[in-house]
Amino acid sequence: MRCIEEIPLVLRAEQKYKDQNLTVLWVGHQDKPPKLTEYAKKNNIPDYLFDPDDSMSRKFGMTYGGGVVFINRDAVVKARVPKGISSSSLEAELKKILN
């Protein structure tokens, strides 16, 4: 699945689980801020962090392209999905961190 298809899944999950304090942090690291801002606006991403030297992305195991990292309340990385998250796999990973 491509990023453009994954974004709405993550946005819906954020709304669905907001009462369980799900926080989604969008990080951009491969494009320049003006391009990222345009992309975020076009895709209804409320805000993002820019990782200019990829240090945050590398820290969480995202070394290329997009992906999703699931971090629980104790700041423990529970899963990394570098490419291609589906609705069912998103739900399964969220259950692991929201319990």
Enumerate the domain spans of the chain: 3-98
Percent of the chain with pLDDT over 70: 95
Backbone angles phi, psi at 85, to 5 degrees: -95, 135
Matching CATH number, 3-98, of 3.40.50.300, 3.40.30.10, 3.40.50.2000, 3.30.930.10: 3.40.30.10
Distances, alpha carbon 3 to alpha carbons 24, 32, 84, in Å: 15, 17, 8
Two tokens at 54? 């990829």
| Global pTM value | 0.81
pLDDT in tens, 41-70: 999 998 888 999 988 888 887 766 667 888
- Tell me the two tokens of residue 60: 């969480």
Beta bridge partners of 79: 70
Between 30 and 89, the higher pLDDT residue = 89
Residue 56: CB atoms within 10 Å: 16
Provide the pLDDT confidence category of residue 17 given band limits of 50, 70 and 90. very high
Average pLDDT, the chain: 86
